[in-house]
Amino acid sequence: MPSLFQQIKSGQLWDFHGGIHPPARKKLTSQVAIGQISLPERLYIPLRQHIGVAGKLLVKAGDTVLKGQALTAADNAMAIPVHAPTSGKVLSIEAYPSAHPSALPEPTLVLEPDGLEQWRPRHALDYLHTERPHLLARIQQAGIAGMGGAGFPTHIKSGASTGVDYLIINAVECEPYITADDVLMQHEASTIVRGIDILCKLLNPKAVLIGIEDDKPLAITAMQQACAGKADYLVRVVPAKYPSGGEKQLIKLLTSKEVPNGRRPLDIGIVMQNVGTVFAIAQAVEEDIPLISRIVTVVGQTLQHSQNIRALIGTPVGALLDACGFAPEPQQRVIMGGPMMGFTLPTLQIPLVKTTNCIIAPTRHELPAAGPEMDCIRCGACAEVCPAVLLPQQLVWYAKAKDYDQLKAHNLADCIECGACAYVCPSEIPLVQYYRVAKAEIRELAREELKAEQAKARFEARKERLERDKQQRAERNQALAAQRQSMLAEQQKQQILAAQQRQEQQPQETLSKEQIIAERERKKAEARAYQAAKAEQAEGSPAATAETPAADPRAAAVAAAIARAKAKKQADAVAHEPTPADSAPAEAAPATTAAQPDAETDPRKAAVAAAIARAKAKKQAETASPEPTPAESAPVAPAAQPESDTDPRKAAVAAAIARAKAKKLAEQAAATDTSAPDQTNPDQTAPVESAPEVAVPEATPDTTAPDPAAAKKAAIAAAIARAKAKQQSKPTEPEQPS
Amino acid sequence: MSFRIASSPHHHSLAQTPALMRTVALAALPGIAAQLYFFGYAVLIQIVLAMLTAWASEAAMLKLRGKPVLVRLKDHSALVTGLLLAIAIPAVAPWWIVVLGTAFAIVVVKQLYGGLGHNLFNPAMAAYVLLLISYPQQMTSWLPPTQLQHHAVTGADPICLVFSGYSCQGFSVAQIKADVDGKTMATALDTLRNDLTAGKTVTESLQQPVFDSYAGLGWSWINLGFLLGGLFLLQRRVIQWRIPVALLGSLTLLSLLAWLADSDRFASPLFHLFSGGTMLAAFFIATDPVSASTTTKGRLIYGALIGALVFVIRSFGGYPDGWAFAVMLANLSVPLIDAYTKPRAYGHRPGI
Ligand code: SF4
Ligand code: SF4
């Protein structure tokens, strides 16, 4: 069995699945001389005419340019410059309808030819004595991109230095009507072969296969003659069948290989170049002529004479048609490209670009418009002709149902949009149109999926960050609380000391009253600071929801401060005059009034505030008692009562209880508030329960303490209870779903 | 001036569904002509009735479903359904048989399933099965060929038979079917089956007058007519070769094997090929694209399956001819066949 290479060398051809035989209509133009047209008034040169990015603009409106001068720079690998097709003046760079099925405006340079055809200096290269990088740079700088239709940058395709077995020159030109490559081969075969020589130097292939359809006898002869003496240049005549000029189909046809799904021809050792591209390469290297003109087939029965025209890039289609005696019919269609894969133009302003090989202006009878779409009869004619071996009838079914998974399973992505299926479909279903829409939808979907994924990642990162923040906050708060606790203990110690001192300094009553007021003031400030701290704690969460829970700790703090003040006052009262606890407020009132003349407005205000606070605390205590208080608090009172028969002590205990109650209330309120969004959370009931528990052990030992110290101890206990309660209340701090 | 925007391709082959359907009708002509010759012009009455019913039910259903009536009617698919059913049922079956069958085919089997292209079953065959099960007597009322008729069916007789069940002279279908000895003459397949059940050998059975040299008298010509039409369809590329070739191939192969094994109990392949509705089914019914497999490999399997089922039903089943059942069973297996015969797309060959 001969090797594949031997089989290929011996001239064997293979077949690809499907394909159709539409009327070729190539005789209309294939043997008509190549025409020229006079310089159009304006040339419209789109800045990007290939697959890739536009180069940086090198000229500006008002500049005078020379023929062949680069208008954009080849500033990166995917950038292909465009050149001034003739000398003249740059009028503007503006958005202009593009040579694309959508005709969306694209940045286009408008050039006014001056008719002088003045060339820029040119530097021919001798490819044999030029390094590869220089040759590739020349190809890129000449603005050469695949001229068969795709417009892929040629210097990239020609840059592979190893692993190329076959260089295939695509001269098949399988679409009906088009003869641009045909006439090019007829007239420029030797230049084309020199272009192949250059590519061979770049790619180093084992063999060159030149595929030409058998309906181009003149081109075949010309190429065979030009290739005479080159043993590795094999002209392969392939039977006319559409779409044998498709890249994948031609590879199969000439080498029996299939490009694996999702890979490039280079992966199986094949590089394919269009014959027009090869010609452009030769011109660029040998004569330093950039890609500024090309041969285009202008054909159709609405034209007086159909012919191939060598036209400058940027020539408006209208000018080309007019040069051929265009007499449009109503509802005229003008097609850029072939009848199978070309697109209709909405306006004749659209310019000729590097990839334009044909302009068709058919009559209605010549290429009848598609009839009304009928139901698919599942005849399978489409599947028989599909060169990609797909099941077009199933694809259209799933495309209509928008079943993207099935579309993927049926390899919609492999559809080359050749139109063979729609050509044969007896129900005249615009199959390709359905596929285009479905493909666009799938692309859109993939984009959205990507977006959603990114958003999800973003969201998760944010959640993590917030979680981290919360943890840090909690740690900080804990530290703060501990600090506060020790600070409070210190204060209480100082208070005790101060009380003892006061006890010793009984005679200086007025002074001590002033001190009391000052002390109250200090406490108030403390309370305010505490409030502020509390508010700060609640700050991390959104204002609206945080406000209510925040208010409660505040209220609790106020209540605590008041209770503290009361307890102190009472303790003081105990120390000074053994009056019943009931009279304490009464006693305090004169005390404050007595202080009035001494103190300025501030102490007065403070006294009033204290009175109000006191009253409030009382009221709160009152309202708290009728409420179903937890059982734990009840034993405390009786337990304390028998032992603490003295009034001050009772008062202190009562104050402690009141404080604890007020706190608990506040916490309950806080708990209910915070539990509102999440009521089933068992954690949140814990502080409510533990608050009395805290009060019990602290309050009971107090009662055994000696009288004056008892009140103070109660105050300390209250402070501790407060701190503890606060600490406990922290976990219940409103957790907002951030 | 405004230019017309269209989507590629801008070119279309001339094959269009309405034209395809017309070609199918045209291709049925030789077979119909043979039927006409051997069984009288009653078949034409059936065709006219079926087509009228098909057209009316299709229009009514399209209207009900809110579809463009005129555009869709123009695909002619309903007319072909009616035509095929009319050819398949006995020529002198009462008029309501064909009307009922056609209406059922169009309304239930085709339109209720979603219209052209959506039906799971071949409408004509589903209707045929319904009729065969519901009205077995009327559905087997094939007259003997004109040449063998004792009471010749002539003049307005076919009209009388179709519309009243009696010939103009007042003979019932059963009386006409009787031979000189008063014994009922059935179709070739019926006769063979009855004889085999009665213990006769195939060779003995074939001595009877309803047979000519190798198959049923007249039936072989009708089959030849449909074969001719089928070849025409193939040549016009209206149908592809796979289903008919696979179908006839598997039928031939199986009957040949059976015949070689026991030629007393099994009829020859030739008998199978040219009896009953073999050629009609192979070229006109099994090739109905809508209900057939759509993959190339699948079509071979589909055709072979029908051929095998027909042989089995004819040789071992309770019905003399099994086309309708075989086609419907194969219709049912199409989704499975299609799923397993999905072609390998370009570039998806494993190991490349
Ligand atoms: S060619 Fe058209 S009608 Fe036939 S199966 Fe394909 S899509 Fe359906
Ligand atoms: S357009 Fe797509 S589905 Fe249709 S024949 Fe071409 S490759 Fe196959």
Calpha distance A583→A586 (Å, rounded): 5
Q: Is A422 touching ligand 1 by the criterion CB < 6 Å?
A: no
Q: Is A116 touching ligand 1 by the criterion CB < 6 Å?
A: no
Q: Looking at residue B342, what is its pLDDT?
A: 84
Positive or negative, the CA dihedral B210, B212, B215, B217 is negative
Q: Is A396 touching ligand 1 by the criterion CB < 6 Å?
A: yes
Q: Which residues of B touch A414 (CB under 8 A)?
A: 345-348
CB A460 within 8 A of CB A405: no
Instruction: Say whether both A430 and A282 belong to one domain.
Output: no
Q: Looking at residue B93, what is its pLDDT?
A: 81
Spell out the SS3 assignment of A460-487.
HHHHHHHHHHHHHHHHHHHHHHHHHHHH
Q: β-strand A43-46 against A105-113: which pairing, if any?
A: antiparallel
Instruction: Quote helix, strand, coil % in chain A, to nearest 5.
Output: 55, 10, 35
Q: How far does A1 lie from chain B, in Å, by closest CA?
A: 20
Q: Looking at residue B295, what is its pLDDT?
A: 85
Tens of pLDDT, residue by residue over B45-62, are 889 999 999 999 999 888
More confident residue, B215 or A40: A40
Instruction: Please name the residue whose Cα sits nearest to atom 3 of ligand 1.
Output: A376
Calpha distance A268→A508 (Å, rounded): 108
DSSP annotation of A145 reads B
Residues counted in chain A: 738
Angle between helices A180-203 and A275-287 in degrees, nearest 10: 60
In a domain, A424, yes or no: yes
Instruction: Say whether both A542 and A461 belong to one domain.
Output: no
Q: Which of A359, A427, A429, A432 to substitute to test the interface with B, most B CBs within 10 Å? A: A427
**Is the bond leading into A243 cis (omega within 30 degrees of zero)?**
yes
Instruction: Say whether both A541 and A651 belong to one domain.
Output: yes
Choose the final residue of a domain: A493, A511, A537.
A493
Q: Is A384 touching ligand 2 by the criterion CB < 6 Å?
A: no
Q: Looking at residue A534, what is its pLDDT?
A: 66
Instruction: Measure A346 CA to ligand 1 centroid, in angstroms.
Output: 29
Q: Looking at residue A548, what is its pLDDT?
A: 43
What single-letter amino acid sits at B97?
Answer: I
Angle between helices A509-539 and A431-504 in degrees, nearest 10: 170
What is the distance of C-alpha A634 from the center of its chain? 64
Q: Is A429 touching ligand 1 by the criterion CB < 6 Å?
A: yes
CA distances from A690 to A200, A219, A537, A694 (A): 89, 100, 22, 6
Q: Is A203 touching ligand 2 by the criterion CB < 6 Å?
A: no
Burial class (CB in 10 A: 0-12, 13-18, 19+), A91: middle
Calpha distance A179→A26 (Å, rounded): 6
Query: In 3D, which of A248, A231, A225, A223 has the Cα closest to residue A171?
Result: A223
A336: enclosing H helix or E strand? strand A335-336
Q: Which of A332, A358, A389 to substitute to test the interface with B, most B CBs within 10 Å? A: A389
Q: What is the CATH number of the domain that holds A431?
A: 1.10.1060
- What three-state secondary structure class fits A665? helix
Q: Is A697 touching ligand 1 by the criterion CB < 6 Å?
A: no
CB A407 within 8 A of CB A356: no
Calpha distance B234→A68 (Å, rounded): 59
Q: How far does A301 lie from chain B, in Å, by closest CA?
A: 15
Instruction: Say whether both A157 and A206 belong to one domain.
Output: yes
Would you call B339 an interface residue with chain A, using a CB distance cutoff of 8 Å?
no
Q: Which residues of B touch A377 (CB under 8 A)?
A: 17, 20, 75, 77, 116-117, 289-290
In a domain, A31, yes or no: no
* CB pair distance less than 8 Å for B16 and A343: no
Tens of pLDDT, residue by residue over B248-271, are 999 999 999 988 888 777 888 888
Instruction: Say whether both A466 and A532 belong to one domain.
Output: no
**Structural domain that includes position A182:** 123-288
In a domain, A300, yes or no: no
Residue A35 backbone phi and psi in degrees, to 5: -95, 165
What single-letter amino acid sits at A595?
Answer: A
CB B90 within 8 A of CB B142: yes
CB A629 within 8 A of CB A661: yes
Instruction: Say whether both A176 and A275 belong to one domain.
Output: yes
Instruction: Measure A407 CA to ligand 2 centroid, in angstroms.
Output: 13
* Stretch 312-341 of chain A: residues touching chain B, C-beta under 8 Å: 328, 331-335, 337, 339-341
CB A82 within 8 A of CB A71: yes
In a domain, A69, yes or no: no
CB A157 within 8 A of CB A247: no
Q: Is A400 touching ligand 1 by the criterion CB < 6 Å?
A: no
Angle between helices B123-134 and B323-340 in degrees, nearest 10: 140
Q: What angle do CA B314, B319, B324 make, to 5 degrees?
A: 85
Q: Is A2 touching ligand 1 by the criterion CB < 6 Å?
A: no
DSSP annotation of B108 reads I
Instruction: Say whether both A399 and A533 belong to one domain.
Output: no
Q: What is the CA radius of gyration of chain B?
A: 21
Q: Looking at residue B2, what is its pLDDT?
A: 66
> From its phi and psi, is residue A697 left (phi > 0), alpha (psi between -120 and 50) or beta?
alpha
Instruction: Measure A331 CA to ligand 2 centroid, in angstroms.
Output: 28
* Stretch 162-201 of chain A: residues touching chain B, C-beta under 8 Å: 176
Q: Looking at residue B45, what is its pLDDT?
A: 87
> From its phi and psi, is residue B347 left (phi > 0), alpha (psi between -120 and 50) or beta?
left
Averaged pLDDT of chain B: 81
Q: Looking at residue A30, what is its pLDDT?
A: 87
Q: Looking at residue A187, what is its pLDDT?
A: 93
Instruction: Say whether both A402 and A267 belong to one domain.
Output: no
* CB pair distance less than 8 Å for B8 and A339: yes
* CB pair distance less than 8 Å for B4 and A391: no
Q: Looking at residue B202, what is its pLDDT?
A: 67
Q: Looking at residue A539, what is its pLDDT?
A: 53
A140: enclosing H helix or E strand? helix A132-141
Choose the final residue of a domain: A288, A311, A343.
A288
In a domain, A389, yes or no: yes
Q: What token pair was written down for A13?
A: 């051809």
Would you call B290 an interface residue with chain A, using a CB distance cutoff of 8 Å?
yes
In this structure, the number of other CB atoms found within 10 A of the CB of residue B328 comes to: 19
Closest by Cβ to B5, choosing from A20, A346, A367: A346
In a domain, A101, yes or no: no
Q: Looking at residue A560, what is its pLDDT?
A: 61
Would you call B347 an interface residue with chain A, using a CB distance cutoff of 8 Å?
yes
Instruction: Say whether both A532 and A422 belong to one domain.
Output: no
* CB pair distance less than 8 Å for A436 and B7: yes
What is the distance of C-alpha A637 from the center of its chain? 66
Calpha distance A506→A565 (Å, rounded): 20
Q: Is A414 touching ligand 2 by the criterion CB < 6 Å?
A: no
In a domain, A486, yes or no: yes
In this structure, the number of other CB atoms found within 10 A of the CB of residue A669 comes to: 18
Q: What token pair was written down for B76?
A: 């002619």
Calpha distance A332→A301 (Å, rounded): 11
Query: In 3D, which of B224, B214, B268, B246 has the Cα closest to residue B37?
Result: B224
CA distances from A509 to A149, A239, A577 (A): 107, 124, 12
Q: What is the CATH number of the domain that holds A214?
A: 3.40.50.11540
CB B286 within 8 A of CB B227: no
DSSP annotation of B165 reads S
A284 forms beta bridges with none
Instruction: Say whether both A412 and A277 belong to one domain.
Output: no
CB A144 within 8 A of CB A221: no
ipTM tops the 0.90 cut: no
Calpha distance B31→B221 (Å, rounded): 8
- Cα distance from N-terminal residue to C-terminal residue, chain A: 73
* CB pair distance less than 8 Å for B1 and A257: no
**Rounded mean pLDDT for each run of 10 residues along chain A, 738 residues in total:** 82 90 89 89 92 87 93 88 94 91 90 92 90 91 85 86 88 92 93 94 92 93 91 92 92 92 89 94 94 94 93 94 91 91 92 93 87 83 90 90 89 91 90 91 88 88 89 89 86 84 64 68 76 63 43 59 67 52 43 42 59 65 50 41 50 64 63 46 42 41 49 64 59 43
Q: Which of B346, B348, B349, B352 to substitute to test the interface with A, most A CBs within 10 Å? A: B346
What single-letter amino acid sits at B142?
Answer: W
In this structure, the number of other CB atoms found within 10 A of the CB of residue A469 comes to: 12
Instruction: Say whether both A445 and A542 belong to one domain.
Output: no
Q: Looking at residue A483, what is its pLDDT?
A: 87
CB A44 within 8 A of CB A351: yes
Positive or negative, the CA dihedral A683, A687, A688, A690 is positive
* Stretch 480-539 of chain A: residues touching chain B, C-beta under 8 Å: none
In a domain, A505, yes or no: no
* CB pair distance less than 8 Å for B3 and A379: no
Calpha distance B29→B229 (Å, rounded): 7
Instruction: Say whether both A179 and A220 belong to one domain.
Output: yes
Closest by Cβ to A368, choosing from B12, B240, B292: B12
Q: How many domains are there within chain A?
A: 3
